């Protein structure tokens, strides 16, 4: 969040204002790496998205045991045309049962299972320890995996097959790198606070405790209600 210097500026939830502006970290080019994920399940859409798949269950690849491990549910970044095209293409990839090499928590069971056939490039806000996703399960927390927060679809990677998707090992490396950066930020913030004096704090968009573990909160309130309905259709 970025706040104006006006003394009477207040933050009002769900209301657009120039007093407080929300800076979305995943939109800033170069701030986070993109990842290549495989759609292995889909959820039917509601409202404007009825008649298509509205949300997709995405996975990374674990080459060690040749499994696909879930890392997020993605519902944003899709144009209406893209949603229709994905629905048309992936409806042909619906399978009746979960594949034995799909590692999925029962809480993430989709409406339909999909054959691992495509690779999607996505960007996200950050990574967190997840109680419901299975990517790198147990690597950084007992019985928990690593998940992406607020993932956003970018494009289909026609040049890759599912086994060339981002691996669980790469997800761990990205998480560890993010953790180190968060510690550095926290250290820098402490120095800044001492220099600024008591009562003055440097605002940071990244909170270390948020990054380390997310309680899922209904998959981040269904990815912030499809990112506030794609920011009210980009301001109409």
Instruction: With respect to residue 60, please indicate whether it lies within any of the assigned structural domains.
Output: yes
Domain, as residue range, for 117: 25-197
Which tokens belong to 157? 């990677």
If one counts the domains in the chain, the total is: 1
pLDDT at 35: 98
First-last CA distance in the chain: 22
Cβ(121)–Cβ(96) under 8 Å? Answer: no
Q: How confident is the model at residue 200 (pLDDT cuts 50, 70, 90)?
A: very low
The pLDDT of residue 94 is above 80: yes
Residue 73 belongs to a domain with what CATH number? Answer: 2.40.50.140
User: How much is the average pLDDT of 86-93?
Assistant: 98
Within a domain: 68 = yes
Rounded to a whole number, what is the largest CA-CA distance in the chain?
A: 62
Closest of 44, 78, 46, 71 to residue 57, by C-alpha? 71
In-domain check, residue 205 = no
d(CA 224, CA 236): 18
**CA 25 to chain centroid:** 12
Q: Is residue 236 part of a domain?
A: no
Q: If 0-12 CB within 10 Å is exposed, 13-18 middle and 19+ buried, where does residue 198 land?
A: exposed
> Which among 35, 30, 42, 55 is positioned nearest to 168, based on CA atoms?
35
User: For 96-121, how does the pLDDT look when each residue is reduced to its tens digit (9 = 90+)?
Assistant: 999 999 999 999 999 999 999 999 99
Q: Which residue has the tokens 């495989």?
A: 38
pLDDT surpassing 80 at residue 203? no
Instruction: Please give the average per-residue pLDDT across 63-81, as a whole number.
Output: 97
Q: Which helix (H) or strand (E) holds 59?
A: strand 53-62
pLDDT at 224 over 60: no
Is residue 219 in some structural domain? no
Residue 120 lies in a domain: yes
d(CA 118, CA 167): 15
Beta bridge partners, 3, equal 20
Residue 9, domain member (yes or no) = no
Whether 152 is covered by a domain: the verdict is yes
**Three-state DSSP class for residue 38:** strand
DSSP conformational letter for 144: B
Higher pLDDT, 235 or 164: 164
Name residue 20's beta-bridge partners. Answer: 3
């Amino acid at each position: 969040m970025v706040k104006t210097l006006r003394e009477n500026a207040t933050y009002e939830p769900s209301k657009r204002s120039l007093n407080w502006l929300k800076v979305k970290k995943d939109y800033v080019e170069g701030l986070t790496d993109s990842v290549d994920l495989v759609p292995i399940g889909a959820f039917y859409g509601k409202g404007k998205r009825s008649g298509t798949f509205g949300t997709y269950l995405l996975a990374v690849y674990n080459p060690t045991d040749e499994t696909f491990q879930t890392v997020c549910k993605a519902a944003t970044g899709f144009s209406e045309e893209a949603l229709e095209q994905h629905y048309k293409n992936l409806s042909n990839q619906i399978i009746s049962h979960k594949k034995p090499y799909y590692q999925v928590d029962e809480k993430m069971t989709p409406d339909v299972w999909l054959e691992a056939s495509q690779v999607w490039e996505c960007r996200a806000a950050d990574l967190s320890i997840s109680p419901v996703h299975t990517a790198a399960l147990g690597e950084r927390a007992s019985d928990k995996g690593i998940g992406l927060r607020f993932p956003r679809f970018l494009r289909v990677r026609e040049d890759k097959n599912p086994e060339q998707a981002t691996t669980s090992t790469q997800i761990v490396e990205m998480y560890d790198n993010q953790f180190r950066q968060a510690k550095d930020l926290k250290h820098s913030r402490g120095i800044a606070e001492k220099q600024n004096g008591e009562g003055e704090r440097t605002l940071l968009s990244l909170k270390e405790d948020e990054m380390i573990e997310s309680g899922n909160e209904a998959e981040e309130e269904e990815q912030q209600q499809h990112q506030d309905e794609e920011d009210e259709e980009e301001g109409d």
